[in-house]
Amino acid sequence: MNNDTLHLMLTLIPLELWNTCYMVIVSAAIAITVGLPIGALLSITAKGAVRDNRFYYGLLSTIVNIGRSIPFAILMIALIPFTRWVVGSSLGTTAAIVPLSIAAAPFFARITESAFMQIDKSLIEAATVMGSTPWQIITKVLLPESFSSLISGGTTLIVNLIGYSAMAGTMGGGGLGKVAIQYGYQRWNPYLMLATVIILIILVQLIQRIGSYSARCVERKIGCST
């Protein structure tokens, strides 16, 4: 490893690490903001739920399935015109946020739906019998009762987004993926390649640890596990 490589490493990696974090955090925030309400709608329009509605459930579920079934690389390319319209360019870190959010939102919708579905039906009935509106059931019962599963699901979402963001980096996005493809692969710099991969591994490990720990703290506080 020569001085040039070291120099590149020290200047590029911190910057692109920040870019990766920026992409992941912003797209996770958007995906949660969009996915959570969709998941909530799915769970309350499902068969036997408080607002059982086959039409809305079917419609939403189909949209979510379509969003989840398109491979991310294809989705990124397909969304280029849309991305250009939203952020003015289809290249760069900010531009990558658009496909990342769109890929992650349906995923989080399903995570929310399954977290809500795990809550005991009789608890929801109890809330109904106390005179709750569907909105109150979502905000005061379903959300707090499934908080620890949502944290676990959110952790999975972020870890997935780190992977996707690296893929986005290879296709014109910024972040560590860009370093890996441009310097590691195209210029055949094994040191940079290895450094990016190690940093990604550490990042994923760290986030998984924090996520699992937080979920466990919530459970321990309410006494569901020891």
Q: How many Å from the N-terminal Cα to the C-terminal Cα in the chain?
A: 49
Q: How many residues bind another protein (CB under 8 A)?
A: 22
Token digits of residue 187:
């210029």
For another protein, the closer CB: 136 or 156 = 136
Contacts (CB under 8 A) with another protein, residues 112-141: 120, 122-123, 125-133, 136, 140-141
Chain center to CA of 17: 18
Report the C-alpha gap between 152 and 161 in whole angstroms: 14
Cβ atoms of 23 and 93 within 8 Å: the answer is yes
Give the shortest CB-208-to-another protein separation in angstroms.
23
For another protein, the closer CB: 97 or 150 = 150
For another protein, the closer CB: 54 or 140 = 140
Residues 6+ apart with CB under 8 A from 214: 151
Give the shortest CB-65-to-another protein separation in angstroms.
24
Residues 6+ apart with CB under 8 A from 226: 220
Give the shortest CB-126-to-another protein separation in angstroms.
4
Which one of residues 198, 201, 217, 224 is an interface residue with another protein (CB under 8 A)?
A: 224
CB half-sphere exposure, 101, CA atoms < 13 A: 21
Q: Does position 1 bind another protein by CB under 8 A?
A: no
For another protein, the closer CB: 9 or 124 = 124
Which residues bind to another protein, rule: CB under 8 A? 120, 122-123, 125-133, 136, 140-141, 144-145, 147, 221-224
